[in-house]
Amino acid sequence: MSVLLETRQLSKNFGEFRALDDVSIAVSEGELVSIIGPNGAGKTTLVNLLTGLLRPSAGEVLFMGRSIAGMGPGKLADRGLARSFQLIAVFPQLTVRDTIATALISRQGKRWQLFGRLAADAAIAARVREVAEMFGLSDRLATAAAALSQGEKKLLDVASAFALNPQVILLDEPTSGVSTADKHAIMQILIAAGRKAGVKAIVLVEHDMDLVAAYSSRIIALSAGKMLADLPPKEFFSDAQLIAAVVGKRRQH
Ligand SMILES: Nc1ncnc2c1ncn2[C@@H]1O[C@H](COP(=O)(O)OP(=O)(O)OP(=O)(O)O)[C@@H](O)[C@H]1O
Ligand SMILES: [Mg+2]
């Protein structure tokens, strides 16, 4: 299996504080890798480093075999690395249709300019419908984001990231703030969408151990910036000591 996303001895300091310490991971084609750990473990910091939003203090990140140093989130998105955010980034007044269209145009504006204006509009509209369909949002296209349920908002946030046909997608708590009953539905929708869209690997930050156990092919556990484990779910969940170390107290966002 070819490695798509990799870190080598990656560390990140904020001033004197080391938020991530010597983390080496690799994500290969076909995997759904969950990053878990208590609040403050460094999960979001790791995602921010993987997506070029933060620069490493030491070590490096490689996407499809190339260092991402100096690339920045925009260029990385163009190359096929997409993400959703832990805190929803959708604009409340925009409709579902405009939110997805904005994501498409903001990253691929130049490409659309190669078409005539009308052809570009038609192509964007078609892609928006296709993405909305994948995420069960077809009948919400004209609805303002503010009027969506929390679960639908999370799906819209992920749908915007999917609009760009990514190779790899990073999801920071895609089900946070959603009722337990809806969490599985959301996970199933986004895994099915990933398969349909040809996404090659998913990296998931998740606190809910039911979801982690149900959907991960591998689990990477962080605590206080250090990597404690990198294991298949079966092995991880049979190690009581490890579980106790990793499944810390929850702080609500
Ligand atoms: N920009 C920053 N400046 C200073 N400290 C930061 C910054 N970003 C994160 N930290 C600190 O780094 C540590 C790791 O934060 P991070 O957000 O990566 O944790 P997390 O595992 O995502 O936690 P949560 O489960 O609460 O989302 C925390 O102690 C946090 O306070
Ligand atoms: Mg976080």
User: Is residue 190 within 6 Å of ligand 1 at its C-beta?
Assistant: no
pTM of the entire structure?
0.90
Q: Is residue 121, in this structure, part of any structural domain at all?
A: yes
Q: Is residue 156, in this structure, part of any structural domain at all?
A: yes
Count of domains observed in the chain: 1
Q: Is residue 60, in this structure, part of any structural domain at all?
A: yes
Q: Is residue 92, in this structure, part of any structural domain at all?
A: yes
Q: How far is Cα 8 from Cα 24, in angstroms, rounded to an integer?
A: 5
pLDDT digits (tens, 9 = 90+) for 160-197: 888 878 999 999 888 888 888 889 999 999 899 999 88
pLDDT digits (tens, 9 = 90+) for 111-150: 666 667 777 788 889 999 999 999 999 999 999 999 999 8
- Average pLDDT over the chain reads 89
Q: Give nearest CA residue, ligand 1 atom 11.
A: 19
pLDDT for residue 50 is more than 70: yes
Q: How much of the chain is in helix, strand and coil states, percent to nearest 5?
A: 40, 25, 30
Give the mutation target among 14, 171, 206, 207 for probing the ligand 1 site: most ligand atoms within 8 A of CB. 14
Q: Which residues contact 234 (CB under 8 A, 6 or more apart)?
A: none
Q: What per-residue confidence (pLDDT) applies to 181?
A: 84
Q: Is residue 126, in this structure, part of any structural domain at all?
A: yes
Q: Give nearest CA residue, ligand 1 atom 10.
A: 19
Which domain range does residue 139 map to? Answer: 3-246
CATH number of the domain that residue 223 is part of = 3.40.50.300
Q: Is residue 191, in this structure, part of any structural domain at all?
A: yes
User: Is residue 44 within 6 Å of ligand 1 at its C-beta?
Assistant: yes
Q: Is residue 219, in this structure, part of any structural domain at all?
A: yes
Q: Is residue 252, in this structure, part of any structural domain at all?
A: no
Structure tokens at 119: 């052809």
pLDDT for residue 88 is more than 70: no
